[in-house]
Each structure stands twice: as structure tokens, then as C-alpha cells.
Amino acid sequence: MPATASGGARPEEAAVTPSASASVASCMGTRPEELTARLAATGPAPGAGCGGSGAGVGAGGAEAEHERVRALREIKNQIIGNRTKKLLYLRLGAVPAVVAALAEAGASPAALVQAAAAVGSFACGVDDGARAVLAAGAVGHLTRLLTHPDEKVVDASARALRMIYQSRLAPKFDVNNGKNMDFVLSLLNSENENVTELAATIISHSCENSSEQLSLCSAGVPQKLVSLFGGSMNLRDACLDSVTAVIRNNREAASRFASTDRGKGFHSVLGLIHDRSPRTRLLACLCLIALGDASPCHFQDKQIKTKLITVLLELVEEPGDVGDEAPLALTTLIKDSLELQKQALTTNAVEKLSNHLLANSLETRRAVTILLALSELCSKLEESRSQLMSVEVSTLILEALKHDWADIRIAACSCLKNISRSPKVLSGGRLSCDTVIGPLIQLLYDSSTSVQVAALGAICNIAVNLTPRKSLLLHSGVVSQLVHLSKSMDPTLRLKSVWALRNLMFLLCPKDKDFIIKELTLSTLSSLICDSEHFVQEQTLALVHNLVDGYVDSANYVIGEDGMVTDAISRQLNNASSLGVCIQGMFVLANIAAGNESNKEAVMNILLPHRADNIKPSFVVNFLQSKDKQLRVATLWCLLNLIYPKCEASSGRIVRLQNAGVILQVKSMINDPCLDCKLRVRMVLEHCVDNADDCFM
């Protein structure tokens, strides 16, 4: 789950206290059905002028205009912060009538202000509302009103547009288009803070690819945004979020920002991690994290990284969205970094997050984000895992596995996945394999695919580290459900379930291997080898690799049944669709070739099939020429097992390999840059000499 925060996202403005005129209006009926009808009945103001100048209405239309303002104000007051009322007005078709007030050239400033506020509220937090507002053409009318002579109309229009552009449904601004860039720059240069905040919101919403980021950099937008940090808190937060959008995942944009004006922008953002506003501190942290990810060379100061960890841990204590998002930001900061996870450990991050988790309910978004942060903290360090293993936290994680909220179950599985990297944890204590296997297997039947995937991730790790006691897992009913999920229409479920079966098969005794393969069947295995997804193919071949490893009967089983599995392997290796598939396929063949004569011949017929035309060269030569050393090593291992030990059959296979040009290719690899390859090459050539005449050398 990525860490995100929106500088412009904030609650709608509270409804204005009803005035005397509003009280009068209540006598005329304020039920949504009545207000919608009243608004529609007012229609265009009679004698309305042109040009959107806000000219007054004629005397005959004054009463109608006054009635329209009252209806708009009442609708606005009812829907602000009230999702139920918004949905009711949407069903009544009120949005087009509200937007119509914006479209009227001679509408009074009061009507425009109320209509703009209502439009913004409809778009805020409700996708159907945003969809209706966009369909009614509100964006064009509100954009036009940004040049209205009345400042209150401009403010209301800018606020409404900002709410619209906070929706994922809002149109994107292509800033590579010159006119669009000029428009955004004109907004940024406005004297009106609501308008400049709108510009920052548009940039955050629309900046999606590297070319747009670089165009904004070339136009000096990041520097302009930094210059606006001195404005209101809302403007500063919107600008911080916008800077993050411009530099995110773009090395050049991040580098330009960090180095321009001797790093003025970087130091300005750095200073804001000490700001009084918790949201500003969070957004500054997110901006620095984005900078560090995009351009690590500009973010090497260990003290700054430690300070970020400290600030984010403090922000977890803040109420509302800031406290919810802070653990996600921490997760992003330390992800895959052993150095930063060690620094987090020195700041007692595990203890602080655990205490917060224990002190609060699991019924919150913050519990989800804290569990995800704890998961990342335990991904690399044994000491972090040990700290998390208090009885209280362990009990809470087990409770979370059974929670009604899917996000909590997913986060708990993520925690278990990383905790179970430690064999010590699984060998005893509250989170031992005895206590976690049952709940995890139940989650494999969950109605949520995401929960099933998360549970499979934990089971994959447990299966690897549970080697001495795998029978406990095998006879828990997990195998049949894994086989069932391997046939799912969802590719991720297929991948994770096959991965779990592969890990279960690792170093398993022959009896237990037979148990799994009988559940799986060779037919299913063959289908998975030829799956539409390369990753599923690769993991299935790795599963077969573990199956035939050191167990002759398994190899005989695989090459039997009319060659169903070996035919599937042959197809995949001849297609060479993916490097990982080729590597795992060759390791499977190498293991089979280590068996008896029938095994070796079966492999030989895959490498060099007897064909009448004999035109197509063997894929083996291509694999030996591969730039990937692992593929070369796997192929050499296979060849070595085919020609060992010395016997008449081995000599015959050498002749076939020589005639196919394989031995010639091996001879050319005598000085292979990979030492492991060089060793296998010498061994293959030595066995060739032992098995035949010196002509091979």
C-alpha cells in the first residue's frame, strides 16, 4: 500500500448558519424534492445580461433571482458533509439545475457563489456526485468564472474546482500542451490564494508521466511552488503535495529540484518537517521520501533520515488522517532498506508502534497502517521480529486474522509473512506454527481475493521455514485448497498457490511428495507448466524441480503418463518465452538426468528430439550462448548429468550432442567469465574425453 497524502484534501467548509431569509424560505418547503422543484422553476433570470459580468437583473426578475439564491443556499447547506443528502439530490436530478445557474451570463454574484459552493460539495467525496458535476459541464463554467470581477465569485469558483480536481474522475491537464501550461502558470501567478491553491491541486492531479514532470520543471514550476510556502497553511500543503507529484519517481526532475538555487527548494522542504502543523510535517516528510527514492545521491544524510523516522513516529499519535497516513509514510521510507530499518530499530519504532496498536481499537484505519509498518520493520531484522513477539501483540495479530474487516486481515497476514521468516518464531511462543496455521488456512477460503493472496504469502514463508515439521502443515487440509486455488481464474492466486506448493515440496520426504503430487495430479501440473502467465510457468517448473530432486520414483512419475509433463516442459523450453522459465526448466531436466538410463534418455529426447527433417537447431546451444550465467550453469549441469557416469550409453549421447553442435559450443566456453560456468565446462569436456576418443578435444 503506497503512502499518499493530498495537500488540497480537507473537509468541506461548514454550512453557514441559516439567515433570516433562510428561515423565511423554510416556510416555502425545504424538503429535497421541494427545493429541487423550486430551483428548476426559477429558470433563467428574466432580462439577464451577457458576458458573465454579474449585471443586476431587471425588477421583474428580482424576486425570481432572490428565490433561486435561497434555494441554492438551502441545498448547499443540506449537502455539505452529508453523503446521504448528496445521493438523494443526485437521484432527484438537482445537479444540472445547480450548474445551470453557473452558466447564466447575467446571474447575480450571490447566485454564482451559492451554486459554485453546491457544485463543489456535490463533487467532494462522492464519485457519483463528481460524475454528475462533470457531465453537466461545471468545469468549463467555473473556469470561466475565475475571471469574474467579483472576488467572492472567484473564490467560490476556485474552491469548487479544487474539490472537483481532488476526484480521480476529474479530467487530466496535459501540461505538455502549451495553452494548458500557460493556463496553469497564470493560475500560479494569481494574487488570489484560492486560485494558486487550485493550480497546485491541478498539478498534483494531472502530473502522471516523466515528460509532464520535466515540462513543469523547465517552466520553473517547482521553484514557484516553493516560493508559495510562505502563504496560508492550506496553500503551503497543496504546494508541498504538488512538488512531490513533480519529482516522484523521476531522477532528473528530483535532481533539478534538489540542486537548483543551491538547494533552496530542498532546504525549504526540510525546514517544514519542524512546522507547527502536523499535516504540513507529514507532507514535507513525504516530499523528502519521494526525493530520496528518485535521487538517492541527494538524500544521503543519515541524520535527516533518522529525523524523518522520528517525526513520522510522532505523527502516528496525531488524530485523523495524519495519524492514519504516518505509518504508511514510514513504511515507504524504510521499505527494502536494511540501513533504515536498523535506524528505525534504534528509535524504538517497533515498541512505539506496538504500544499504539495495543492502546487502540483494531476497528480503525490506523491499525491497518501500523500493522503494515510493523510488517516492513520485521522484513529483514531478527531483532525487530523478536521485539514484536510479546504475548499481547501476538494475541492481537491472531485476533486480526479473524477480524471482520478485510484490510485488517490482509495487514495481519503481511505481518505474519515477515515474522515467519524467522524459524525461531515458528518453533514456539504465541505465534508458533501450531497457532497460526489453522487461521491462515481458513483465510484461503475467504471471500476476498486480496485476503487469500495475503494468506498465501504467509503460508509460502511458513512452508520454507517449517522443514522439520512440514507434516503438520501437509495434514492440515492446506494441500487440497492450494490445488483448488491453482486452478483459479485469478493469475495472482494461481501464482501464489503454486509458489506455496513449491515451498512445501522443498526437502520433503518421498512419502509426502507422493501425497502432494496425487492431490495435484500430472494433468494439472502439465496445465500449469503451460499457463498463460510466465510467472506461474516458472513457479510450476520450480515445483517440479523440488519434486524430482533426489527422488528417482518422482522422476519416473514425471516422465511417465505418456510423457504429459515432459512434453509440456519441452514446449516451454523450445518457445523460450521467459528467462526464468528456461532456467527452472533446465534445472528440472538436470535433476531428471541425474537418474537412471531411462531418465537420461527422456531428457535427451527433449534436448535433441529425433526428427525427420532435423532442421531446427536445439535450444541447448542458444541457452549456452545466453548472457545469463544462471541459465548457462543450469544447462551445463544438465549436460554433465547426461554424460556421467562413463558407459556405452553415455558415449552415444556425446556423439548426438557433438553432431548437434552442442559440444563445439561448450568448447568455446572454456574461458567463460563466470567461474561456476568455467568449472562445469571443464568437467563436461573431461567426461567427453573419458567416454570417447581424443577427437573431442
pLDDT at 27: 44
pLDDT at 12: 59
CATH 3.40.718.10 fits 521-696, yes or no: no
477, three cell numbers: 487440509
Note the pLDDT tens digit of each residue in 269-312: 999 999 999 999 999 999 999 999 999 988 888 899 999 999 99
Q: Domain spanning 72-171: which CATH class is it, in words?
A: mainly alpha
Closest CA to 117 of 12, 10, 6, 187: 12
pLDDT at 427: 65
Note the pLDDT tens digit of each residue in 86-127: 999 999 999 999 999 999 878 899 999 999 999 999 999 999
Under 8 Å between Cβ of 82 and 138: no
What are the CB-based long-range contacts (under 8 Å, 24+) for 51-58?
51/105, 52/105, 52/144, 52/145, 52/148, 53/105, 53/106, 53/149, 54/106, 54/107, 54/108, 54/109, 54/112, 54/148, 54/149, 54/150, 54/153, 55/106, 56/108, 57/106, 57/108
What's the whole-model pTM score? 0.85
72-171 against 521-696: fold identical:
yes
pLDDT at 7: 46
37, three cell numbers: 422543484
pLDDT at 428: 60
Tell me which residues of the chain have a pLDDT lower than 50.
1-8, 14-27, 45-56, 59-60, 612, 694-697
Compute, in degrees rounded to 10, the torsion defined by CA atoms 643, 646, 648, 649.
Answer: -30
pLDDT at 555: 86
What residue ranges do the domains of the chain occupy? Answer: 72-171, 521-696
How far, in Å, CA of 443 to CA of 456, rounded?
9
CA distances from 343 to 317, 347, 348 (A): 20, 7, 9
How far, in Å, CA of 70 to CA of 227, rounded?
41
Under 8 Å between Cβ of 65 and 47: no
468, three cell numbers: 522439520
pLDDT at 693: 52
